[in-house]
Amino acid sequence: MCSDTVIRVAGLSKRYEIYRQPSDRLKQMLLPRLQGLFGRPRREYFREFWALRDVDFEVGRGETVGIIGQNGSGKSTLLQLVCGTLRPSSGQVSVHGRIAALLELGAGFNPEFSGRENIQLSGLLYGLDAATLARRFDDIVSFSGIETFIDQPVKTYSSGMYVRLAFAIAAHVDADVLIIDEALSVGDVRFTQKCMRFLREFQRHGTLLFVSHDTAAVTGLCDRALWLHQGRVRVDADAKQAVEAYLAEQHALVRSELGGQVRVGQVRVGQARKATDTPARDPADPRWSKSREGRLGSLAEVFPFHPDATGSEFGEQGAVIDGVAVLDRDGTPVAMVDGGDIVTLRIAGQARRPLRDLIFGFYLKDRLGQRLFGDNSYLTYREQGIAAEPGEQLHCDFSFRMPLLPRGDYSIDAAIATGTQLDHTQQHWLHDAVILRVNESTVAHGLVGIPMLDIRCSRQERS
């Protein structure tokens, strides 16, 4: 294994034998052998189930990889194979370095032991000597925040307390590889934030394998993501692309269960649209002449919509988006926009069949695919509704004050749906329809800033 490769999985498969009733296990142990002795065909008394099939991937040192997929797709099985708590049916797993893992709730704990005793037991299993464990004991208890209950049996703990203790131990064992299986979903807000701060710090030197149904956490935390589908790797790409492809497929599955026909556009893995993919602008373009005098905030370059240079797409195609533009107050497309400017985002489309209850919407995302803000037309038009006949052109304008954005690349997703806010069908969702690049910004912290109307400080003199 290459020195920069921490986890290597090659041809990994895991097979289970599913028995209809307990007596079939006994039959499987005895009868096939007897059938073989008498020259009869060997019969199997179980149903074969492959939780994983021919999985291949590598994780580099310092990389954070998310694993996404539906329940039953093999995510937890994969993590257990990497940790060594399961043996593969075929294939190989190689791991370089110490692993700390948070798998299913309470895994590795003896429910009859107290929290104190489980810390000592887990520390020894992770390879810490008694002296090191004694020095770190107080820090582990303090991180967990369950000091009052540390001498109580863990079988009396709530699910949140289980996670607190397990994460606190994993955070103090000097792991090279940290594996987390949906463990943070049961913690409270304050502890989850503490864990996220730890994970951000851990990413500076360690390798993280992260399973979650929270796709926002995957895009925000991970460099790359694997989408597992029925035990196989469906997509292995950067986190943003993998998550977008997965969510599109999930929407299609939900609508198909309700009788809809959703087309998922070709996922162009490894070819996400960036600002650098867009042709250079003509400096003589009058839209470049915007003065920066007296302006503070963020200046974003806007790369216009082009139908052949967008991200992936999906939807039933009852209406299709054929134009997305950022306009100024006069309705002119802008080449640059300042934080604080009032702009209009126009989404234009064409109906291909009779539609009722149309909803237009958008999201502004950062380079990781995290949604910064967005809106849709449902609440404004829910009383009268929006309808369209085949061939009709229609558009929706969203006017708002542009927030201040830190430096970097951003993109706008545009969508046309039908239905309601809670129950709708996507007719056309278009990822990365418009790209923005911020080269100048006064925003140093946070995801977005807002233009301050006034900042005023005062001091009252002592009497």
Say which range, 220-229, 264-273, 438-447, has the weakest mean pLDDT.
Answer: 264-273
Q: Does some domain include residue 461? A: no
| Whether residue 171 is found in the same domain as residue 294 | no
Reference 336, options 294, 287, 373; nearest CA is: 287
Q: What is the pLDDT of residue 190?
A: 77
The CATH number given to whatever domain includes residue 192 is 3.40.50.300
| Whether residue 238 is found in the same domain as residue 273 | no
Q: What is the pLDDT of residue 107?
A: 62
Q: What is the pLDDT of residue 220?
A: 85
Reference 209, options 241, 233, 161, 176; nearest CA is: 176
Q: Does some domain include residue 453? A: no
Residue 287 has pLDDT above 70, yes or no: no
Share of the chain above pLDDT 90, in %: 45
Reference 242, options 312, 178, 316, 305; nearest CA is: 312
Q: 292-306 burial string, b = 16+ CB within 10 Å, else e?
A: eeeeebbbbbbbbbe
Q: What is the pLDDT of residue 441?
A: 85
| Whether residue 57 is found in the same domain as residue 196 | yes
| Whether residue 29 is found in the same domain as residue 119 | yes
Q: Which residues contact 188 (CB under 8 A, 6 or more apart)?
A: 160
* Nearest-10 Cα torsion for 367, 369, 372, 374: 120
Q: Tell me which of 243, 258, 287 is where a domain ends.
A: 243
Q: Does some domain include residue 204? A: yes
Instruction: Report how far apart, in Å, the C-alpha atoms of 288 and of each of 139, 189, 284 are.
Output: 56, 45, 7
Distance CA 212, CA 286 (A): 48
pLDDT digits (tens, 9 = 90+) for 25-43: 888 888 878 877 778 888 8
- Check if the beta carbon of residue 324 is closer than 8 Å to that of residue 348: yes
Q: Does some domain include residue 148? A: yes
Reference 183, options 198, 203, 173, 205; nearest CA is: 198
| Whether residue 289 is found in the same domain as residue 385 | yes
Q: Does some domain include residue 321? A: yes
Instruction: Report how far apart, in Å, the C-alpha atoms of 411 and of each of 100, 142, 163, 276, 336 are.
Output: 36, 42, 36, 13, 14
Q: How many domains does the chain have?
A: 2
| Whether residue 274 is found in the same domain as residue 381 | yes
What does the pLDDT average to over 92-118? 85
Residue 101 has pLDDT above 80, yes or no: yes
Average model confidence (pLDDT) for the chain? 85
| Whether residue 219 is found in the same domain as residue 330 | no
pLDDT digits (tens, 9 = 90+) for 213-227: 888 888 888 999 999
| Whether residue 307 is found in the same domain as residue 430 | yes
| Whether residue 152 is found in the same domain as residue 235 | yes
What does the pLDDT average to over 269-275? 46
Q: Does some domain include residue 254? A: no
| Whether residue 385 is found in the same domain as residue 271 | yes
CA torsion sign for 145, 146, 150, 155 is negative
The token pair that represents 382 in the structure block? 């829910």
Q: What is the pLDDT of residue 77?
A: 92
Q: Which residues contact 339 (CB under 8 A, 6 or more apart)?
A: 297, 298, 299, 300, 402, 403, 404, 405, 441, 443, 449, 451
Which domain range does residue 41 map to?
Answer: 5-243
The CATH number given to whatever domain includes residue 425 is 2.70.50.60
Residue 265 has pLDDT above 90, yes or no: no
Q: Is the pTM of this model over 0.95?
A: no
Distance CA 194, CA 446 (A): 17
- Check if the beta carbon of residue 47 is closer than 8 Å to that of residue 202: no
Distance CA 128, CA 120 (A): 9
| Whether residue 275 is found in the same domain as residue 148 | no
Task: Give the H or E element holding residue 61.
Answer: none
Q: What is the pLDDT of residue 267?
A: 42
| Whether residue 118 is found in the same domain as residue 163 | yes
What does the pLDDT average to over 45-65? 92
Q: Does some domain include residue 463? A: no
CA torsion sign for 24, 30, 36, 39 is negative
Reference 100, options 13, 3, 186, 198; nearest CA is: 198
Q: Does some domain include residue 222? A: yes
Q: What is the pLDDT of residue 394?
A: 92
What does the pLDDT average to over 77-84? 92
